[in-house]
Structure formats: structure tokens, C-alpha cells
Amino acid sequence: MFNIEEFLTKVNKTNASDIHLKIGKVPSLRIAGNIVKIDEPPITEEDFENILNTMLYGNLAQKIKEKNDIDFTYEIKGVSRYRVNYCKELGYPKLTLRTIPYIIPTLEELSLPNSLEAFTKYNNGIVLITGATSSGKSTTIASLIEIINKEKAKHIVTIEDPIEFLYTDKKCLITQRGVSVDVNSFSDGIKYALRQDPDIIVVGEIRDRDTMESALNAAETGHLVFSTIHTNSASQTINRILGLFDDSTRGFIRDRFAKVLRGTIAQKLVARVNNAGLAPALEIMSSTPAIVDYIQKNQMEEVDLSIKRGGSQNMISMNASIFKLFKGGIIDKDAALNASDNTTELNQMMRGIYHGSANPVDDLL
């Protein structure tokens, strides 16, 4: 009989980031960015029923009868925590588990630049970490929050769906609330958090207009808000946020958002050479007075150019970050080009024809 706890305990030693379980298929793992099918018998319907009986708690068993997709967390004490997605494929159930380590990694351990610490120094405003699914957004936020937890005496309220990393209070008091468990929605969570004496609010994801309006209100009333959104660059992020609002209010929202935005961090994970794991490539934008002015005037091309020229303000373009990884021998040419949204520019960088601004790749990452 398939024992999920024994299986996950064994898998934990492989450093797999994700585990895929579905009826009639052998278990699959994502290791260093690649899917690996392991040498186990295919999972039977009886196996899957036993897995669910072990993992489900509270009203989750009832929820999966009513919904085709749900998210929840699962934990094996002393092994790991997992963010779990239950879904159906061709009418059959499937589970996808994301590993969540107990110990929150540092920026250094994540190969992220120390310059990101600057985003933890603000007393108010909005910081957005962006990127595709599985690009490490939640881990980066957790690392930044842990810096604050170690250095400042603040009250941090997190609103997550589901709760991923578990924080231990250090200098901070940290309140963690799960959507559908402790609060009805992200927007409700922010609204009620404002009555709970917070300094910093972490919003798992901005998905809709109500959540964004609540985040704006929190930032404008003196709180620092961290959140994520599924975009690949600063300009995409700004346009996505403004696209949540209709034409009649967009100009007003643009002005409000420009004034409270403190910066964006766009992430991609790129395969290292020799299958040695994944390396983060980043576009970093800091909200300088010029950037604020460009956002208010809807000049997104100027925002992009400012990022390319912004080495002195700890800004860097995605291509400059990718090029630095390539130049340092961390990733190969194919991986670099596959990760780039502007391969013509990146090819020019590789041939030494184009350097962007004054050496954007030497000192930032």
C-alpha cells in the first residue's frame, strides 16, 4: 500500500521542489527545474484514496466534493511543509505538492543581491515581487520579511492562500491569516488588518480590483505592503494593475499608485550549467522621482529605459541580469536566450556590441 508520509520523507532527500501524483501514473518530481519520473509502481485508485485520507483534514474532504480545484497545506513534522493543489484531469483527481522548507532562506542562500534589502527599509508604500508561477516570488518575500523580523520591532500581518512559510517571532510580532480559513478574501484580510495595529501587510497575491484598492488604501495610510503578481517586468506590472480599473477611474488610480509604489522585483529562474540547479535572474526597479513622473504620464517606454540606465539607483534590466549570469559561467548561452524576452538585445550584449547604460552588469548582482 502506498504510504504518502514514507514517500515524502524519502523524496525530501532529493531536494525536489514539486511532487506530482495522479492515478495510473508513476510519481513525478521536479528537480533542478526538470521533471523526473521515479522508479515506483503507478498510483492506483486505492492508493490515491489512501493518500487523501491521510492528507485531508477539517472540511477539506467535503470541499473536494464540491470544487474541482482547492489549495491547502500539509505538514510532516520534522520533514517539510507542502502547499498542495488538488485538481481533476479528465475526471480523475491529481495532487501537486510544492515543498516549503521550515527554515526561511537568506538572500545570499537564494543567490539574490543584498541590494534588495533596501525594500525592507521603507515605512510605507507598496513593493511588488513579480514573475511566472514557480519563479520563487513567495520565497523572496519570505526572505525579505525575515530580514525585517530580525531587525525591526514591527507588527507584520500576512494574508495568504494558503499559508506557506511559517514565521517565528523575533523582534517582530507576526500574525498569519489564511484565506477561507481565517479570512474570507485578500481584500477583506487587508481591510480587517488595518484594525489590528499593523506596520507591514503581506498579501499573497493581487488578483482583482478589490484587493488592489485595499492595498492602495493600506499604503496611503502609512503601512508597508508586500505582494506578488503574475507579470514579467515593471512596465507589465504597472499596466496589469491599472488594467484592473475602468477608464473613468484609471487616471486617478495611476496617480495614487505612482505615489505609493516603492519598487518592483521581477524574477525568472534559469537552469544552471551541468544541471546544477536554478539561478535567479532579476529586473529591479526602484521608484525614483523620474519613474514616478513617467508612471503618472503613462510613459512606460521611459520606465524601461530608466531601468536600463539605473545602475546608480540599484536598478537593473532582466537582460543585464541574464547576461551577468552568462558572463559568469553560471548559465549557458541557450539557457540565457531561452530566458530572455529580447533576444536581439541579449545577443548584442554577448557579442560586445551593446552594453545598455554605463556598465549595467558589473556591480548590481
| DSSP symbol at 90 | T
Report CA Rg, the chain.
21
192-214: pLDDT as tens digits: 999 999 999 999 999 999 999 99
User: Of 114, 317, 335, whose CA–CA distance to 233 is shortest?
Assistant: 317
Residue 156 CB partners (closer than 8 Å, separation 6+): 145, 148, 149, 167, 172, 173, 174, 175, 198, 199, 200, 201, 202
Region class of 91: left (phi > 0), else alpha (psi between -120 and 50), else beta: left
DSSP 301-365: HHHHHHHHH-GGGT-B-HHHHHHHHHHTTSS-HHHHHHH-S-HHHHHHHHTTS---SSSTTSS--
Question: What are 95's strand-pairing partners?
Answer: 21, 86
23-37: pLDDT as tens digits: 999 999 999 888 999
Sheet with 80-89: strands ordered across: 34-37, 28-31, 18-22, 92-100, 80-89, 70-76
Q: Which band of pLDDT confidence, cut at 50, 70 and 90, is reported for residue 358?
A: very low
242-270: pLDDT as tens digits: 999 999 999 999 999 999 999 999 999 99
Instruction: Quote the CA–CA distance of 54 and 62 in Å, as a whole number.
Output: 15
Alpha helices (H) in the chain, listed in sequence order: 4-11, 45-55, 60-66, 137-151, 186-193, 209-220, 234-242, 247-260, 289-296, 300-309, 318-327, 333-339, 343-350
Instruction: Quote the CA–CA distance of 252 and 346 in Å, as a whole number.
Output: 37
Using DSSP, state whether 220 is helix, strand or coil.
Answer: helix
Q: Which band of pLDDT confidence, cut at 50, 70 and 90, is reported for residue 310?
A: confident
Residue 17 CB partners (closer than 8 Å, separation 6+): 30, 31, 98, 99, 134
Q: Which band of pLDDT confidence, cut at 50, 70 and 90, is reported for residue 91?
A: confident
Using DSSP, state whether 38 is helix, strand or coil.
Answer: coil
225-234: pLDDT as tens digits: 999 999 999 9
User: Would the CA dihedral through 25, 72, 111, 362 be positive or negative?
Assistant: positive
- Amino acid code (one letter) for 311: G
User: Of 152, 153, 156, whose CA–CA distance to 142 is shortest?
Assistant: 156
Q: What is the pLDDT of residue 58?
A: 87
Using DSSP, state whether 271 is helix, strand or coil.
Answer: strand
The yes-or-no verdict on residue 355 having pLDDT over 60 is no
Q: Which band of pLDDT confidence, cut at 50, 70 and 90, is reported for residue 363?
A: very low
Q: pTM higher than 0.85, yes or no?
A: yes
Q: What is the pLDDT of residue 365?
A: 46
